[in-house]
């Protein structure tokens, strides 16, 4: 169920009933629903992600420069400085390079999304399917490594500055993931192997893949897989060879001492990392409209914090759409800052805050014919300054599963009380089905509830699937 389904649904209701059911609010009542996190970056010091003694920069400043030569020189210098463990790094990328960089980010996103399919194959106990999915992920990782690293290209001709620039960024993502796993993912790598992007990516894929399969990763497996990847010339042949090799290795591997040790990391990676890469991909696709972008890794009470600052050229707009399916568009002008707290220590929510800087804006726009019809006939959706997105997920294999999303914004046209809240809650009842060789989780019933809250009213749309008697959820406090 998506925001577009909601929009379509309320249009139908508008045609039949004339409106979406609404409830009057008492003056000031919206304040009980409105909850903004304060800017946490002043209390969250910079923290260099790394592994052991190897540290990557905590602050990355990427500028837009028209000159290909200038950008190439700055990338090479930045790469040399990173080897010294500097805290800050600055380089430039020209618009000429962004096509390659966007493709690399897309490949990385697809590889991370492949872990969802790998998890399904693992849960079903289908070792053959697991090996095929695992091989496909490794081949995707190999393609990324060859594009982003001179060392990983068997021809020795990897000289695209966009790829070279993306290599360190991918290393930072890998180190950040490893850091949040307590160093367990890359713990088997020798110090000299940390500089090899192919080795890092292969280790991550194999470590998580075998953990999903409930197996210990055999000794020497990574070295053998990396050698096969290094020598391969045709990716389709490599994928078939890896699938057979991995199937044999999995059949011979010992059961994992702690089953599912990396499951939380896999859920984390498959939930936020592809969306984060899609955001980066969209920004880089509009790189000619931007002045610069700054990425910071921080920590607050042992919790990771990521801050991204965007500086758009005067008179230009940068637009983000469909990072979440059918989301309202996000429109950036001037300067703004996005702060991501993957897990709020008090609520367990993922909190994404949006802060305008020096007159800039980050606005939420409900655009298109569907949203225009909703606004005209059913719900007074208002464009405005986006302030925060809060996401709470309570995944379960059996019982009641909850997903709660709240988008908080401030309407531009309302000077008296601009606060607006759009919430979506999905509640599903699940049960385990046990087969002769597998255990799977199935959804028996589900309900979605949307609320749009203004200072005067709360508009509510509900959708129930399956027998209503099976699932009768109650709305939690808004927003969760």
Over residues 73-106, the pLDDT tens digits come to 888 888 888 878 899 999 998 888 887 778 888 8
Pair (193, 231) in one structural domain = yes
pLDDT at 269: 65
**Cβ proximity of 253 and 22 under 8 Å:** no
Q: Please check whether residue 116 lies inside any domain of the structure.
A: yes
Average pLDDT over residues 414-439: 78
- The residue ranking higher by pLDDT, 362 or 191, is 362
Give the phi and the psi of residue 358 in degrees, each rounded to 5: 50, 50
Give the Cα separation of 47 and 49 in Å (integer).
6
**What is residue 334's predicted lDDT score, i.e. its pLDDT?**
96
336 and 391, same domain (yes or no): yes
Distance CA 267, CA 397 (A): 13
Report if residue 288 sits inside a domain.
no
Pair (228, 95) in one structural domain: yes
Specify the DSSP element, H or E, that contains 11: helix 3-17
Both 7 and 147 in a single domain? no
What are the structure tokens assigned to 15, written together?
A: 């045609």
- Over 90: is that where the pLDDT of 453 sits? yes
DSSP 323: S
For residue 297, being part of any structural domain is answered with: no
E strand or H helix that includes residue 266 = helix 263-285
Same domain, 195 and 258: yes
Give yes or no for residue 243 having a pLDDT over 60.
Answer: yes
Closest CA to 295 of 58, 67, 9, 136: 58
- Arithmetic mean of pLDDT, 172-176: 68
Q: Average pLDDT, whole number, for the chain?
A: 79
204: pLDDT strictly greater than 60: yes
Final residue of a structural domain among 244, 264, 284: 264
Instruction: Give the tokens for residue 252.
Output: 């011979």
- Total tally of structural domains belonging to the chain: 2
CA distance 326 to 404: 17
Tell me: do 250 and 339 sit in the same domain: no
User: Would you state the pLDDT for residue 67?
Assistant: 87
Shared domain check, 24 and 146 = no
Residue 79 has what pLDDT?
A: 80
Contact 304, 176 (CB under 8 A): yes
The pLDDT of residue 470: 39
Are 187 and 53 contained in the same domain? yes
Going by the DSSP 8-state scheme, the letter that residue 324 receives in this structure is S
Residues 12, 61 within the same domain: no
Instruction: Give pLDDT tens digits for 343-363.
Output: 887 788 889 999 999 999 999
Mean pLDDT within 467-479: 38
329-341 vs 303-312, strand pairing mode: antiparallel
Give domain status of residue 340, yes or no. yes
DSSP state for residue 152 in the 8-state scheme: T
Instruction: Indicate if the pLDDT at residue 477 is higher than 50.
Output: no
Structure tokens at 363: 């606005």
Same domain, 192 and 329: no
In a domain, 47, yes or no: yes
Does 395 share its domain with 450?
yes
Domain holding 344, by residue range, is 3-37+323-465
| % of the chain at pLDDT higher than 90 | 24
| Alpha-carbon radius of gyration of the chain | 24
330 and 248 inside one domain:
no
- Residue 395, in any domain of the structure: yes
């Amino acid at each position: 169920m998506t925001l577009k389904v909601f929009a379509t649904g309320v249009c139908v209701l508008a045609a039949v009933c004339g409106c979406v059911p609404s409830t009057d609010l008492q003056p000031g009542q919206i304040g009980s629903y409105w909850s903004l996190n304060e800017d946490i970056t002043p209390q969250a010091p910079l923290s260099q992600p790394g592994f052991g003694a190897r540290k990557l920069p905590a602050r990355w400043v990427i500028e837009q420069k028209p000159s290909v030569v200038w950008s190439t020189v700055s990338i090479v210098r930045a790469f040399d400085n990173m080897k010294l463990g500097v805290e800050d790094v600055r380089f430039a990328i020209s618009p000429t390079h962004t096509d390659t960089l966007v493709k690399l980010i897309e490949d990385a996103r697809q590889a991370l999304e492949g872990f969802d399919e790998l998890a399904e194959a693992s849960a079903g106990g289908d070792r053959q399917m697991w090996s095929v999915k695992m091989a496909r992920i490794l081949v995707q990782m190999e393609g990324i490594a060859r594009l982003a690293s001179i060392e990983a290209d068997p021809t020795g001709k990897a000289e695209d500055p966009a790829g070279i620039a993306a290599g360190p960024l991918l290393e930072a993502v890998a180190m950040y993931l490893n850091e949040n796993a307590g160093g367990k993912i890359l713990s088997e790598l020798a110090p000299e192997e940390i500089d090899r992007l192919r080795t890092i990516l292969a280790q991550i894929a194999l470590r998580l893949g075998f953990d999903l399969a409930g197996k210990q990763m055999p000794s020497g497996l990574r070295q053998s897989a990396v050698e096969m990847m290094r020598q391969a010339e045709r990716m389709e042949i490599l994928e078939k060879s890896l699938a057979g090799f991995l199937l044999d290795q999995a059949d011979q591997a010992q059961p994992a001492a702690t089953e599912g040790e990396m499951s939380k990391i896999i859920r984390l990676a498959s939930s936020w990392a592809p969306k984060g890469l899609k955001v980066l991909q969209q920004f880089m696709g509009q790189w000619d409209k931007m002045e610069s972008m700054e990425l910071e890794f921080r920590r607050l009470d042992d919790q990771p914090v990521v801050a991204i600052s965007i500086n758009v050229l005067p008179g230009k707009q940068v637009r983000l759409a469909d990072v979440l399916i059918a989301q309202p568009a996000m429109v950036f002008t001037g300067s703004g800052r996005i702060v991501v707290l993957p897990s709020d220590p008090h609520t367990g929510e993922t909190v994404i805050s949006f802060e305008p800087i020096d007159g800039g804006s980050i606005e939420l726009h409900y655009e298109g014919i569907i949203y225009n019809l909703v606004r005209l006939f059913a719900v007074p959706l208002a464009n405005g300054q986006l302030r925060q997105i809060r996401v709470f997920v309570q995944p379960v294999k059996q019982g009641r599963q909850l997903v709660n999303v709240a988008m908080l914004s401030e309407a531009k046209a309302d000077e008296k009380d601009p606060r607006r809240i759009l919430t979506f809650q999905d509640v599903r009842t699940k049960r385990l089905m046990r087969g002769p060789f597998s255990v799977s989780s199935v959804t028996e019933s589900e309900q979605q509830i949307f609320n749009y809250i203004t200072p005067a009213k709360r508009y509510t749309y509900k959708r129930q699937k399956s027998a209503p008697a099976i699932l009768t959820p109650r709305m939690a406090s808004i927003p969760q």
